[in-house]
Structure 1
Amino acid sequence: MLLISVLVLLFEFMCYVTVILSLKITSLLVIVATFELLIKNSLKT
């Protein structure tokens, strides 16, 4: 019985970590894209 609850906790923790990592990767990509746009705009002028 204890083993099952530990496995459930582990699974929830893994889901939590996966969501946070994907959010961080997404925000990093957005930041990089924004910087690229800013650099391209500054090069045009």
Structure 2
Amino acid sequence: MELVDGFTKVILSFIRMSIRNIIKVKIEIAFVLMLMNIKKVVAQQFK
């Protein structure tokens, strides 16, 4: 979990949630995780 947390802070400049509603926070977390997965897929394609 620490690696994921560090990645989101450093690479994506994602330090804190920009919204407060729990449903919107879940959506925002899902979006960040989706971006991380897309980045992994793209990196694998260019190896």
User: Residue 33 of structure 1 is aligned with which of 35, 38, 43?
Assistant: 35
- Pairwise CA RMSD: 1.3
Task: Kindly name which structure, 1 or 2, has the bigger radius of gyration based on alpha carbons.
Answer: 1
Runs of 4+ aligned structure 1 residues displaced above 2 Å come to: none
Q: TM-score, normalised by structure 2?
A: 0.56
**Structure 1: 5+ residue runs without aligned partners?**
1-17
Q: TM-score, normalised by structure 1?
A: 0.58
Say which structure, 1 or 2, has more relative contact order (CA 8 Å, 6+ apart): 2
Partners in 2 of 1:35 and 1:25 — Cα distance? Answer: 15
The percentage of counterpart residues that share the same residue type is 14
